[in-house]
């Protein structure tokens, strides 16, 4: 009963609960991931990259803001692979948004969580609102 009460209070306080979890992709599952039935934002990064470290918490917060409208994925460039060549990823961090398996937008900037969410949701037709507010 205490757990249920805590859950209800949490939902009341935060509005909704999101259990979104970013997906790690690599050369073997990249194609199947970007051909998902929803928009996919892939962040190309490396553990040794300072700007990538700065972007990480914003990327994670943006995932919570966007909810389940967009799949958030990360690709460690140290894995190498065809996606780096195919999408000409020469700078990190790079975020590429895919809709129906096709690149529709890209950014090499360090953006705030809200800016990332607004940018991505602007390309997702069914995402007219975010947290009840007009996007």
Evaluate whether 98 touches 46 at the Cβ level (below 8 Å): no
Residue 57 tokens, joined: 């918490």
The yes-or-no answer on residue 112 being catalytic is no
The residue annotated as part of the active site, out of 34, 41, 52, 121, is: 52
The yes-or-no answer on residue 52 being catalytic is yes
CA distance 35 to 6: 38
Residue 7 tokens, joined: 């859950």
The residue annotated as part of the active site, out of 25, 39, 49, 70, is: 49
CA distance 125 to 122: 7
Which active-site residues does the annotation give? 49, 52
């Amino acid at each position: 009963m205490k757990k249920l009460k805590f859950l209800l209070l949490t939902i009341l306080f935060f509005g909704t609960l999101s259990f979104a979890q970013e997906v790690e992709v690599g050369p073997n599952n990249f194609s199947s991931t970007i051909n998902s039935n929803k928009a996919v934002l892939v962040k190309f990064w490396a553990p040794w990259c300072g700007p990538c470290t700065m972007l990480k918490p914003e990327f994670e917060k943006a995932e919570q803001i966007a909810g389940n409208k967009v799949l958030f994925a990360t690709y460690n460039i140290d894995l190498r692979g065809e996606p780096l060549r195919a999408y000409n990823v020469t700078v990190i961090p790079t975020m590429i948004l895919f809709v129906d398996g096709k690149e529709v937008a890209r950014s090499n900037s360090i953006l705030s969580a809200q800016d990332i969410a607004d940018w991505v949701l602007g390309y997702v037709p069914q995402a007219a609102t975010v947290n009840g507010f007009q996007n």
